[in-house]
Structure 1
Amino acid sequence: MTCTHPENEFEALVYLAERLRQRFPEVTEDAVFALIADELESFDGARLRDYVPVLVEHNVLRRLRSEHGRAA
């Protein structure tokens, strides 16, 4: 298991949460997990799962940037 080559979707999402917590230390861990869960839910029926963590990261970053007004 590495952050650049996670073995599965769950590991990729764990690394995503860690990266977001480092980039946005002012956002609570619960808030980060809530945003990830919210975005992940929108891909619930996706058949091709390989890109789901990347898409979730993109959407969560967009939301955090707009909420916190910074270009992280």
Structure 2
Amino acid sequence: MGDRWRIEVDRGVCVGSGMCVGSAPEGFRLDAARQAHPATEEADAGEPLLEAAENCPVEAITITLAATGEPVFPPED
């Protein structure tokens, strides 16, 4: 079985660009206020989710390993 990721969006930072929904439509939704939120609290690790986090123009998305809390994105320096 593959890794599970916990996806979080800092809604205080999100500008509602929708780039995350474009990159990973199964992973993100925009609400009526155009604020992004994860479709589910945890998801199977996958390139579209990572791409969405990497391409967020305001870096509002964080991804951690669900089992350990270890950062996936942004990576620790």
TM-score (norm 2): 0.31
Higher relative contact order (CA 8 A, sep 6+): 2
> For the pair shown, which has the larger CA radius of gyration, 1 or 2?
1
Q: Which structure dedicates a bigger proportion of its chain to strand?
A: 2
TM-score (norm 1): 0.32
